[in-house]
Amino acid sequence: MSTNETQNVKIVNADPSALGLFGLAMVTLVASSQKMEWTHGLSFVIPWAIFLGAFAQLFACINDSKRNNTFGTTAFGGYAFFWFAVAASWMIKMGVFGQALASNVDGKQLGVAFAGYLIFSVFMTIGAVETNKVLFIIFCLIDLLFIGLSLNAFEIAPEFSHKLAAYAEFFIALFSFYGSAASVLNTHFGKVFLPVGKPFGIFKK
């Protein structure tokens, strides 16, 4: 007598948040150094935008999707494609794809895109309320970054908006480094090695 037995095998993936946050930390650190005029030019910012800002967060997005984490998938995926687009925009402006494209650049179109990403970041910030406090702070800083970028692209209070974007981006890097370290070390040691703060408990108990 033979029996057919069906076994369900659950594949457990590691949490990709640490790598995604590290990618965000690196690209915002390098990009903010240019905004603050600690460094100059965009040529060496572009590789970090593509590989750390874009690909590292896209990797986190795909793996969060496998974990059925809608919030993480959307956040990492949304910002990964942002950095792909920004890197491409910089390259167009610098003439990498030819002078025909470079001569037809309108910075206000980037302002529209930044405003769209501000909308995206605001509703993701609402979601971050129920993740942890470090991630919530990162999203609040991202909101400030996009406010600064949007205003600057539309040439509204350009000096203030540039500084707002620069400092917001720098602090995004610092908090993202911390969040990445916490994600790695808390999991590695199996205890709270670096606290990230509990969810606020406003929308979910």
Going residue by residue through the chain, which has 205 residues, state the pLDDT in tens, using 9 for 90 and above: 556 677 766 667 899 999 999 999 999 999 999 999 999 999 999 999 999 999 999 999 999 999 999 999 999 999 999 999 999 999 999 999 999 999 999 999 999 999 999 999 999 999 999 999 999 999 999 999 999 999 999 999 999 999 999 999 999 999 999 999 999 999 999 999 999 999 999 998 7
CA 2/CA 165 separation, integer angstroms? 68
Determine the pLDDT at residue 13.
Answer: 85
Residues whose CB is less than 8 angstroms from the CB of residue 103 and which lie 6 or more positions away in sequence, other chains included: none
The pLDDT value given to residue 204 = 85
Q: What is the pTM of this model?
A: 0.93
The DSSP call for residue 42 is S
Per-residue tokens: 24? 């965000």
- DSSP per residue over 75-121, as a string? HHHHHHHHHHHHHHHHHHHTTTT-HHHHTT--HHHHHHHHHHHHHHH
Output helix, strand, coil percentages for the chain, rounded to the nearest 5.
70, 0, 30
DSSP 8-state symbol, 45: T
d(Cα 94, Cα 147) in Å, to the nearest integer? 24
> Cα separation of 21 and 11, whole Å?
23
End-to-end Cα distance, the chain: 52
pLDDT attached to residue 12: 76
